[in-house]
Structure 1
Amino acid sequence: MNIENFKNILIEKFGEAIILQSDYQSITVPTANIAEVCNLMLEHEECYFDMLSCLTALDNGVDKGTMEVIYNLYSIPYEHKLMLKVIFPRNEKGEALPEVPTVSHIWKTADWHEREAFDLVGINFIGHPDLRRILLPEDWDGHPLRKDYQAQEYYHGIQVKY
């Protein structure tokens, strides 16, 4: 099976909002449907993506005004690989964090991956069972992998910016 087949399976269920990227490496899906899409990719008998290899997030910057979450799926029995993406507006300073539905109920590995994306990029994964910082202290200011991140000079009296 190839990426075109996976796209067709998704279009059958979710319609034309499913977009095969021009590089033929990934499929972009609506943010609100990501959990349903992932569940279908796991349960569909021709796909059976039983492993979330990686979930990562990126900030495309203030100029583009978007952020992404990228899901790398793998089917152990079929040896299929698939990259899914959701692209959504980034928040401005002082606004609520952008929201993406969790997939941690589909693959347990998403638990820590989503916590890392929350911690470092500032994305709120709706429905996550324990969404809190994983690498930085709870009272850390900001999300260090954001393009507009400004490191604080001191943290509890310790100089952290040189």
Structure 2
Amino acid sequence: MTFPEITDLLSAQFGSDLQANTQNPQPYLAVPVSQLVAICQFLRDDERLFFDLLACVTGIDNGIEANTMEVIYNLTSIPYEHNLMLKVVIPRNTNSTSLPSVPTLSHIWRTADWHERETFDLLGIQFDNHPDLRRILLPTDWVGYPLRTDYQEQDQYHGIKTK
């Protein structure tokens, strides 16, 4: 199935809030965060699509000026040999007490579990209802999120120089 066919099918099912971008070498579909779980459940369960693999989850910090972050999902249908990239854009939440959040997809694809943990660990994006959202790469007492554009590295960690 081609990207336009998938986009048409999803638009018919979920309405016109979906935004297709075909300007990039790999087209993507921007979806509202409020519809993310329903869309992904449909992408996996619909017999015409059968996206059985969540291959990658990537987070992007667009910086303080843009005040947004993105979560990008790369999906594959192994039997049908088609791919789809989904993107959600969320507010950055620049205050230190509130992290940006999206719902987890770990109940749809098991691979989401560790991908979401990595995105949480490095960017501080919260995945609501994740079964085990904790750091996966950095120590549990690490301060901050190293892939954020405004991250300030500590001078020392437990007496070890970091710079």
Shared fold by TM > 0.5? yes
Residues 1:120 and 2:129 aligned together: no
Q: Aligned to 2:90, which of 73, 88, 91? A: 88
Report the equivalent of 1:3: 3
Does the Cα contact within 8 Å between 2:103 and 2:128 map onto a contact in 1? Answer: yes
1:110 Cα deviation after fit:
0.5
Pairing 1:12-23 to 2, within 5 Å after superposition: 12-23=12-23
Distance 1:54 1:10 in 2: 21
TM-score (norm: length of structure 1): 0.96
Q: Aligned to 2:134, which of 124, 132, 135? A: 132
Pairing 1:135-150 to 2, within 5 Å after superposition: 135-150=137-152
Give the stretch that moved more between structures: 1-10 or 125-134: 1-10
Distance 1:34 1:160 in 2: 38
The unaligned stretches of length 5 or more in structure 2 are: none
Does the Cα contact within 8 Å between 2:67 and 2:94 map onto a contact in 1? Answer: no
Aligned residues: 161
Identity %: 53
SS in 1 for 2:51: coil
Pairing 1:6-155 to 2, within 5 Å after superposition: 6-23=6-23, 25-155=27-157
1:65 Cα deviation after fit:
1.3
The runs of at least 4 consecutive aligned structure 1 residues that moved more than 3 Å come to: none
Distance 2:109 2:52 in 1: 8
1:13 Cα deviation after fit:
2.1
The unaligned stretches of length 5 or more in structure 1 are: none
What is the alpha-carbon root mean square deviation over aligned residues?
A: 1.1
SS in 2 for 1:53: strand
Q: What do residues 86-131 of structure 1 show as CA deviations (whole Å, max 9, x unaligned)?
A: 0111121424000100001111111000000000011000010000
1:32 Cα deviation after fit:
1.8
Q: What do residues 56-99 of structure 1 show as CA deviations (whole Å, max 9, x unaligned)?
A: 11101112111000000000110011000001111214240001
